[in-house]
Amino acid sequence: MKAKKLIVLLGPTGVGKTELSIQLAQNLRSPVLSADSRQLYKDLAIGTAAPTHEDLKRAKHYFVRNLQLTDYYSASQFEEDVIHLLAELHTTHDTVLMCGGSMMYIDAVCKGIDEIPTIDETLRADISTLFKEEGLEPIRQQLKIFDPVFYNQVDLQNHKRVIHALEICLMTGKPYSSLRKNQMKERPFQIIKIGLTRDRNELYNRINCRVDKMIEQGLLEEARNLYPYRHLNALNTVGYKELFAFFDGKYTFDFAVEKIKQNSRIYSRKQMTWFKRDNEIAWFHPCDSELILKYCLGMRNK
Domains in the chain: ranges and CATH: 5-114+183-300 (3.40.50.300), 121-179 (1.10.20.140)
User: DSSP labels for the chain?
Assistant: -PPPEEEEEE--TTSSHHHHHHHHHHHHT--EEEE-TTTTBTT-TTTTTPPPHHHHHHS-EESSS-B-TT----HHHHHHHHHHHHHHHTTT-SEEEEEE--HHHHHHHHT----PPPPPHHHHHHHHHHHHHH-SHHHHHHHHHH-HHHHTTS-TT-HHHHHHHHHHHHHHSS-HHHH---PPPP-SSEEEEEEE---HHHHHHHHHHHHHHHHHHTHHHHHHHHGGGTTSGGG-STTTHHHHHHHTTSS-HHHHHHHHHHHHHHHHHHHHHHHTT-TTEEEE-TT-HHHHHHHHHHHHT-
Q: How confident is the model at residue 234 (pLDDT cuts 50, 70, 90)?
A: confident
Higher pLDDT, 236 or 41: 41
5-10 sheet: strands from edge to edge: 61-62, 32-35, 95-100, 5-10, 190-196, 281-284
Q: Are 39 and 32 in contact (CB under 8 A)?
A: no
| Overall average pLDDT of the 3-18 stretch | 96
Is the model's pLDDT at 231 over the cut of 60?
A: yes
Q: Best-predicted range by mean pLDDT among 105-114, 157-166, 226-235, 261-270?
A: 261-270
Q: Are 238 and 211 in contact (CB under 8 A)?
A: no
| Per-residue model confidence (pLDDT) at position 115 | 65
Is the model's pLDDT at 95 over the cut of 80?
A: yes
What pLDDT, in 10s, does the model give residues 59-77?
Answer: 999 999 999 998 888 888 8
User: DSSP labels for 249-280?
Assistant: TSS-HHHHHHHHHHHHHHHHHHHHHHHTT-TT
| Per-residue model confidence (pLDDT) at position 175 | 87
Beta bridge partners of 99: 9, 34
Is the model's pLDDT at 1 over the cut of 60?
A: no
Is the model's pLDDT at 294 over the cut of 50?
A: yes
| Overall average pLDDT of the 138-153 stretch | 92
Looking at every residue in the chain, the average pLDDT score rounds to: 92
| Overall average pLDDT of the 173-184 stretch | 76
**By percentage, how much of the chain surpasses pLDDT 70?**
95
Q: How confident is the model at residue 299 (pLDDT cuts 50, 70, 90)?
A: confident
